[in-house]
Chains A and B, each alone.
Chain A
Amino acid sequence: MEKVLLRNIDVLDSHTLAVYRSRGGYRAWEQVVKDFKPEQLIEEIKVSGLRGRGGAGFPTGMKWSFVPKESPKPKYLVCNADESEPGTFKDRLLIEKDPHAIIEGTLIAAYAIQSNTAFIYIRGELAFGAKRLEQAVHEALETGYIGKNIMGSGYDLDVIVHKGAGAYICGEETALLSSLEGGRGWPKVKPPFPATHGLFGCPTVVNNVETLAALPWIIEHGSAAYAAMGTDKSKGTKLFSVSGHISKPGVYEVEMGYPFVKLIDEDCGGVPDGRKLKGVIPGGGSMPVLRPEEIAKVNLDYESVQAAGSLLGSGGVIVMDDTTCMVRAALNLARFFAHESCGQCSPCREGCHWMEKIFHRIEHGEGQRGDLELILDVSGNIMGNTICPFGDAAAMPAAAFIKKYRGEFEAHIEEKRCTVRME
């Protein structure tokens, strides 16, 4: 398979403009500026079948097309580089190793919606990545890929790298916009949607790093070439950041529809030291865990993973072997979500902490009968009832851990101790 996203990262100094250009960089941008009308570009991306890689998998071209063309307000393109989903580190690799691909993608997307200001909102902790991006923006500006009257086209575009202050919730697009506006990182109630009332109340598109990084390749090779990869509904390639109990952790690019087991056992070398796989989270910490038997026939595309009862999400694959205490794993995630809940709406603010407290008791030998039903009930009461998807992100894994490893939870409650690590 030809690499779309990781095509440059193994090259020395891949982050520099010189190397990027030597590998064909910015040719797509030149082509877009010279040959494409915005509508044409949107159509091209629609045909490519590219879907948002931030987790929701919404078709990118369609997202762009929601931006009103005749709006008198400025339009904004925002690159979401606030990667903070547990177990996800794919964007970070691109940011640090191939910042120009992200910038080129950002330029293309901004052009598609005719935005004159683009922001790259990067997670505060990614200090090195932010530096790389700033350097790259500077180089592109010097070269004339960004700025006024780009390559004589009459099109102006500014790109601003903005560092967040380190909040998971700011990866949610409307919370990101609130933060970018200088406010508290709180998701906004919808409607209205960002496409019409986004940043500073203006039409805005927020695209993930990986989504944008795929754009130059699609333009250069054509949407048909991209659409030729992957499955019927999930096109192209996707990055998977594999971590946990795995022999070769790292970021892998595979074609959509790639067999899950093949990725884990062959590409990543399987679970180390002859131990057995106990469970795997396919799409970052907010997605339901899958048991080994559940992934046997799963392919890595949106539909197949969903059919198995989880979601592809960000592609953050967390592998757990049979030494893992699932109660502890559930507590770990519950604690994360309790800590990161923004506190704006009642079910998430109160429910996430409540679940964490119960998981904490169970793990520490203070579980009671009825605790599991209570967590399932609380998670059910959060699901779908919150302002943003965070509520679901906290509720889904909690419920999945209990449903799929119920015996282990019950043993913790009955025996008042961890039954896994004692063996």
Chain B
Amino acid sequence: MDPINITIDGRQVTTPKGKTVIEAAAEVGIAIPHYCYHPKLSIAGNCRMCLVEIEKMPKLQIACNTPAMEGMSVLTQSPKVLAVRKAVMEFLLVNHPLDCPICDQAGECWLQDYYMQHDQQASRFEERKEHDRKREIFGPNVVFDGERCIKCTRCVRFLQEVTNTDELAVVNRGDHSTIALFPGAILDNPLSANVVDICPVGALTDRDFRFKVRVWYLQKTPSVCPGCSTGCNISIETYQNRISRFKPRINEAVNSHWLCDEGRYCFHDLTGGERLTTPMIRHEGGLVPTTWDRALQATLNGLRSAAPSAGVLSGRNTNEEAFLFAKLIRGLSQDCALEVFYQERELTEVQKILMSPDRSPNFRGAREMGASSNGGFDSLIRKLKHGGFSSAYIVGEDLIGTDRDPEEVRQALKKLSFLVVQDIRLTETAQLAHVVLPSTHFGEKEGTYTNRKGRVQKLNAATIAPEGALQDWEIFGRLLDSSGAQVSCSTPSEIFEALAKEIPGYQGLSYATIGAQGIPLGGESQS
């Protein structure tokens, strides 16, 4: 592509042919304000906020739909442009309720932000505002406020162009224009809540999140979605050490701008319930609290005396955890079997846009770390059901609760002479254990996941684990220490450096260089 030279606000800008003015400007850090423009959606050109002055053109032009042409000179800060921004802001606020204090979008509302940046004047509109539907339920996750809507049509275009599900349309005319569900339709596609993210104002809000916390109190931690092995990049947003919501983080190599609903809301199931805060040991038929030292010693003794052992890792365990776990189990018994939890389901076409068929975000990574005996998870469970193991170490998965035949699993686990379960809750599986070890969930962890396509991405701890629970890697590390193994592993970063020396494909990777966008195995060429 031939590069094009244009001037924006006096700056020389070189941009590939085919870019629009708004794109060319963004590339050099000049943000032209806009509502309807979205880099992943078709051009609507309806908000008129991005009008800019272009030399030799008598009228202002919308930057989102004006192709950058050789020699073009664009002004984004001229008096005419500044004036039209004020005018457009005034128009957009004509029928918009000015009740930010009770609007859930406040704090992340583009009307608020642009008002402060580009308007800052009182409205001259003194007439009666037009009314529209308030709090109309569009679907299980999305609620609509017609009065706050600025008709940018981002939601309509998303549903037409990304999901192809077409639930929403613009209806009526003039200032009665509004967004509505097609008769009989419900906004319940697997990606429905993305319309909340792309809505620049408070028209579409998240039913799960709204009114729980003001957004300016949220702490944002970049991480990876624990929902499946796609590994969508997310921001875990927390308030008072609780996860309030997931928001997608842009990563063109993985999830672009999107996040599926299942992933978005999976933290409720993965973090809810009463937490285990003390290790427990079976005594006279019941589970009684004990110290970590005793629980870990019992674990080692139990596994050593009851070979063959089965080690089952959760698909949400990190690479670092899987690396240590594999070392631990293999060190205790030559006759062991190791696997990572894996279950598939059928996906619809819309689900396939983002979702993987599993619910094990680090299935690939954990197996690559050695947590696999190559038989596969199903075969390990079959062997377990047929009494092929004397002991088992189950991490982070409720095997009884997730199996198609829970009773069969229950009976198999009951027959084991030793069972250790490491989890955050006292699951049905944990209730059968001889030793229960309280651990942490994805949101409390630091480490790496390797997604289905082989991209190593970093998790960061968004919340602090309850006192008494230990990180999975810490538990494995202490067990390894007690078992006499020589593994230096005091932080996830150290463990990663260790595994990068040992695991094929990970050689040469460094924890420090993974960054916020992850890094593909086998170098950048793979992405």
Contact = CB atoms under 8 A, between A and B. Distances in A.
Interface of A: 167, 184, 189-191, 338-347, 349-354, 357-358, 361, 374, 377, 381, 384-387
A315 B329 CA distance: 90
A347 B88 contact: yes
Interface string B62-105: 10010100000000000000001001101110110000000000
A347 B91 contact: yes
Contacts of B46: 344-346, 387
B87 A381 contact: yes
- Output the residue of A345, A374, A377 with the most chain B CB within 10 A: A345
Interface stretch (B171-179, B254-262, B341-349): B171-179
A358 B87 contact: no
Contacts of B125: 354
A341 B151 CA distance: 14
12 contacts: A184-B169, A189-B62, A191-B65, A341-B173, A342-B173, A343-B175, A346-B48, A347-B91, A351-B94, A354-B91, A357-B127, A385-B84
Contacts of A353: 94, 130, 174-175
Interface of B is mostly: loop
A385 B174 contact: no
A352 B173 CA distance: 12
B427 to A, nearest CB: 52
Closest 6 A/B residue pairs (Cβ)? A343-B177, A189-B45, A381-B87, A357-B127, A350-B91, A341-B174
B489 interface: no
B177 A346 contact: no
B176 A343 contact: yes
B59 A340 contact: no
- Output the residue of A341, A350, A357, A358 with the most chain B CB within 10 A: A350
B87 A347 contact: yes
A341 B130 CA distance: 15
A349 B47 CA distance: 10
A5 to B, nearest CB: 33
Contacts of A345: 45-48
A351 B91 contact: yes
Nearest to A361: B127
A381 B88 CA distance: 8
Nearest to B91: A350
B498 interface: no
A381 B170 CA distance: 25
A62 to B, nearest CB: 19
B173 A343 contact: yes
B306 interface: no
Contacts of A343: 151, 170, 172-177
Contact of A340 (B88, B91, B174): B174
Given A184-B170, A342-B173, A381-B90, A347 B48 contact: yes
Given A341-B174, A343-B151, A351-B91, 11 more contacts: A184-B170, A191-B67, A338-B175, A343-B175, A344-B46, A345-B47, A350-B91, A354-B125, A381-B84, A387-B45, A387-B46
Nearest to B62: A189
Contact of B87 (A338, A357, A361, A385): A385
B110 to A, nearest CB: 13
A53 to B, nearest CB: 24
A349 B177 contact: yes
Contact of B175 (A350, A358, A377, A385): A350
B124 interface: yes
Nearest to B42: A189
A105 B265 CA distance: 62
B78 to A, nearest CB: 14
Contacts of A340: 173-174
B44 A189 contact: yes
Interface string B480-513: 0000000000000000000000000000000000
Contacts, number: 95
B21 to A, nearest CB: 12
Interface in B145-201: 150-151, 169-170, 172-177
Contacts of A344: 46, 151, 177
Contacts of B172: 343
Given A340-B173, A349-B174, A358 B151 contact: no
B464 interface: no
A381 B86 CA distance: 9
A357 B95 CA distance: 13
Contacts of A167: 173
B60 interface: yes
Nearest to B128: A357
Contacts of B67: 191
A167 B151 CA distance: 20
Contact of A350 (B45, B49, B94, B170): B94
B51 interface: yes
Given A343-B176, A384-B59, A350 B95 contact: yes
A339 to B, nearest CB: 7
A287 B125 CA distance: 26
B43 A189 contact: yes
A374 B123 CA distance: 11
B87 A350 contact: no
A244 B48 CA distance: 37
B80 to A, nearest CB: 10
A171 to B, nearest CB: 14
A224 B425 CA distance: 93
A357 B84 CA distance: 22
Contacts of B130: 353
Contacts of B48: 345-347, 385-386
Contacts of B150: 346
A387 B65 CA distance: 11
Contacts of B60: 384-385
B171 to A, nearest CB: 9
A387 B150 CA distance: 16
A344 B92 CA distance: 12
Contacts of B175: 338, 341, 343, 349-350, 352-353
Nearest to B49: A346
B29 to A, nearest CB: 26
A340 B127 CA distance: 20
A342 to B, nearest CB: 6
B174 A338 contact: yes
A191 B20 CA distance: 11
A364 B429 CA distance: 77
A199 to B, nearest CB: 18
A9 to B, nearest CB: 35
Contacts of A191: 65, 67
Nearest to B65: A189
A167 B177 CA distance: 14
A342 B44 CA distance: 14
Given A189-B45, A354-B127, A385-B51, A346 B88 contact: yes
B383 to A, nearest CB: 59
A189 B46 CA distance: 8
Contacts of B45: 189, 345, 387
A54 B205 CA distance: 44
B92 A350 contact: yes
A340 B43 CA distance: 24
Interface string B381-423: 0000000000000000000000000000000000000000000
A259 B439 CA distance: 93
Contacts of A351: 91, 94
A385 B94 contact: no
Contacts of A384: 59-60
Contacts of A352: 174-175
Given A343-B174, A350-B175, A374 B91 contact: no
Given A345-B48, A346-B47, A357-B127, A385 B88 contact: yes
A374 B49 CA distance: 21
- Output the residue of B67, B91, B94, B177 with the most chain A CB within 10 A: B91
Contacts of B49: 346
Contacts of A358: 127
B56 to A, nearest CB: 15
